[in-house]
Amino acid sequence: MATNKIGLNDKEVVELVDLLNDLLANYQIHYQKLRGCHWNVRGNDFFTLHLKFEELYNNAQLTIDELAERVLTLGKSPHSTYANYIKVSKIKEINTEGLAPNKMVDAILEDYKVLLDLEREIIETASENVNDEGTADMITGFVKFQEKTSWMLRAYNGNK
């Protein structure tokens, strides 16, 4: 069995890296959507949402870096072009200009559903197929943040 530099099976790591690169692509589109919401939010909720979107895009930026570095740690290359991100991402771009604040929040909540589904798949693959506790632990941290943030955004928007 061929292993990489951190002792994981090379063949098993390929599937995991593909999933991590898919997650990276989705995060890049999500990040840009958060930036657009931050720039274009208007109305009575401006101060609250402007700061919240900034907090979320800063978190997304750190997450993107962690994902890319994890792919490198696994001995592979992270994807790095927007053409690839747009092609691969399940999260779609939206035009945030003129979008109502509650619709912005709804769009971010939809992104979190996509991200959480991908992250749960990665945790399962990392834990059960690859024995990669490092990746599983990292992704679990992302899940915890998104679950809590989703609850807060739903509460903000008056959703359950």
Alpha helices (H) along 1-132: 10-40, 46-73, 82-88, 101-124
User: What is the reported pTM?
Assistant: 0.96
Predicted local confidence at residue 3, as pLDDT? 83
**pLDDT tens digit sequence for 81-91:** 999 999 999 99
Q: What is the pLDDT of residues 40-63, one digit of tens each?
A: 999 999 999 999 999 999 999 999
CA distance 106 to 113: 11
Write the DSSP assignment of 122-145 as a string of letters.
HHHIIIIII--HHHHHHHHHHHHH
- Superfamily designation of domain 10-156: Ferritin, core subunit, four-helix bundle (1.20.1260.10)
Q: Which H/E stretch holds residue 95?
A: none
Helix (H) or strand (E) holding 96: none
Q: What is the pLDDT of residues 8-25, one digit of tens each?
A: 999 999 999 999 999 999
Domain boundaries, the chain: 10-156
